[in-house]
Amino acid sequence: MLAFVASVLGCASGFTTIAPMPPQKYEKLGHASGKATGSLGILGTAYYFIPMGLNSRIDSAYDNALKSVPGATSLIDVTFEESWFWWLIGTGRTVTISGEAIKEVTK
């Protein structure tokens, strides 16, 4: 029983803030989009329990979106989209983060 409880609790993660508050003054740089994939797998469909890059995919997708627009430091009007697919021994979960890329104006 203890092993079951430990395995279930070991797969939890906390809340994630996708985008920080924008600065007071900023310049819009254009549309940005980034993707990242994580997996949940091992054994059959009802028994997927091992996360592989699952919890870091939102941060990775956000970073990839920032990298898609040179000079971008943050995003506003952020959207989150998730899709999933099956592979041989698990499922893949792809996150797409999109938004308006901005950079802070210091004038």
What are the boundaries of each domain within the chain? 19-104
**70: which DSSP letter?**
T
Q: Are 77 and 88 in contact (CB under 8 A)?
A: no
Question: Can you name the CATH fold of 19-104?
Answer: Translation Initiation Factor IF3 (3.30.110)
| pLDDT of the chain, 107 residues: tens digit per residue | 655 555 555 555 566 667 788 999 999 999 999 999 988 876 655 666 677 778 889 999 999 999 999 999 999 999 999 998 887 778 888 999 999 999 999 87
> What single DSSP character describes residue 21?
P
List the structure tokens of 28: 């819009």
Write down the pLDDT at residue 72.
96
**Residue 64 and residue 99: Cα distance in Å, rounded?**
12
Query: Which pLDDT value is given to residue 97?
Result: 96
| Alpha helices (H) along the chain | 2-9, 57-67
* Token digits of residue 26: 């900023």
Quote the pLDDT of residue 88. 76
